[in-house]
Amino acid sequence: MRVVVGSRASKLAVIQSEMVIDSLRRYNPEVEFDLITMKTTGDIILDKTLDKIGGKGLFVKELDKALVDGRVDITVHSLKDMPMEVNNELPLLAFSKREDPRDVLVLPEGVSEIDPNKPIGSSSKRRQLHLEKLYPGIDIKPIRGNLQTRLRKLDEGEFSAIVLAYAGLKRLGLEHRVSRIFSTEEIVPAACQGILAVQGRADFDEAILKSFDDKDSRAVAMAERSFVAALDGGCSSPVAAYGKIQGDQISLTGFYVDEKGRELTKTVAGPLKDGVALGRQLAYNMKKKLEEKVDGNAG
């Protein structure tokens, strides 16, 4: 049996896909795996922020087409980069064990303190809003490109610091670049940050993925994604969710900013089996609370 795996062409995406393939090979030694890489629209257009060019779907469009055309059998994605709406014909089939979901601060090589005269580079409004509170008075400016490109821009002096996902740096063996690890209270992580997802056609034989699929990651991912989806949140929306499993319970923290710029962070807990419903209910309650604030102010 031969399985063709599709991946984005960046170094991090290839390493992540190879991690998945290595895991699948261990449990399926009789299967031959081949890796095909491709640049997505989101990788090519780097002079605009994602909300200006179409959001998260730009990182999956080409890979989805390769699945539909039969050029690849499965694709590997950072789940945080995937749209909330997934084509029923191309379901998410398996989820990796979660890597550290936190965000981190990275300074230029050889530098030990932030230069207040240069901006901090951040790729998302979610991070920007948190950073404005953590570093008042310092400009926060957008930065695009893959992880190596961002590090190069930092080291060449464009930024005083940049904020990245800890998971990506760890997978690239670049933990030594980390200057500060933000707690999940300081910066609520993007939904599903640290989780890899395997996507495929609906008729793909999932048996070879069974050993790879992590049931805790799946449960947390579905809860976090349900919260974001209920708020119509995408990659450019300041929405975040972070779930933690404790026994048969899940604690879910949501971060939401409405169209008027009012923001709210709230944590709820409940049975893990009800995680998706819990995410939806948390979204509804937070939205309602902000609307009530408006009504109260109007009165």
> Which residue among 98, 144, 177, 225 is the active-site one?
144
Q: Which two tokens stand for residue 287?
A: 């939205």
Neighbours of 245 (CB within 10 A): 17
CB contact at 8 A, 223 and 243: yes
3-class DSSP state of 137: coil
> Which residue among 8, 98, 127, 225 is the active-site one?
127
Determine the distance from the C-alpha atom of residue 35 to the mean position of all C-alpha atoms in its chain, rounded to a whole number. 22
Choose among 58, 117, 57, 116: nearest CA to 87: 57
* Residue entry with tokens 């993925």: 209
Paired residues of 252 in beta bridges: 243, 268
Establish whether 150 is a catalytic residue.
yes
Establish whether 144 is a catalytic residue.
yes
Amino acid, single-letter form, for residue 173: G
CB contact at 8 A, 289 and 278: no
For the chain, how many residues are written?
299
> Which residue among 56, 98, 102, 150 is the active-site one?
150
CA distance 271 to 285: 18
Establish whether 214 is a catalytic residue.
no
- Return the half-sphere exposure (C-beta side, CA atoms, 13 A cut-off) of residue 272: 15
CB contact at 8 A, 255 and 126: yes
Establish whether 225 is a catalytic residue.
no
> Which residue among 56, 98, 125, 126 is the active-site one?
126
- Return the half-sphere exposure (C-beta side, CA atoms, 13 A cut-off) of residue 261: 2
Establish whether 98 is a catalytic residue.
no
**Which residues carry out catalysis?**
80-81, 126-127, 144, 150, 235
